[in-house]
Amino acid sequence: MLPERERHALRAIEAELQASDPAFAAAFSGRKLHSPRRRHLLLLLCDVTAAVMLVVGLFARDASLVLWGTVSAGALVAWHIARAESVRESTEDGSARAAGAP
C-alpha cells in the first residue's frame, strides 16, 4: 500500500495525463494489461518451443539445442509449478473465479 502522499501524486499525474491526452489515457483505462488468457497462450508457446528444441536437437545431434531445450524445459516446469501455486492460493482465499470459468 502506498502512502497517502504518493497516492495523491499519482492521482495528480493521472489527472494531468487525462487532461493533456484523453485518447492516450482512455487506451489504458479499464483494460488489463496482462490477461490470464495471454499468459496461458505464452506458456503454451514456450512449451512447444522447448519441445521442438529438444526433438530437433536430438535428431540433429546438436548438443547446444539439447542443452537449451533442457534448460528451458526446466524453467517451464518451475513456471507451471508457480502458476499452479498462485491459482491454488487465489482460489483458497476466494478471489478467483470458479475452476471451469474462463
- % the chain with pLDDT above 90: 28
Give the C-alpha separation, 54 to 56, whole Å.
6
- % the chain with pLDDT above 70: 82
pLDDT tens digit sequence for 42-75: 888 999 999 999 999 999 999 999 999 999 999 9
- What angle do helix axes 36-60 and 63-92 make, rounded to 10 degrees? 160
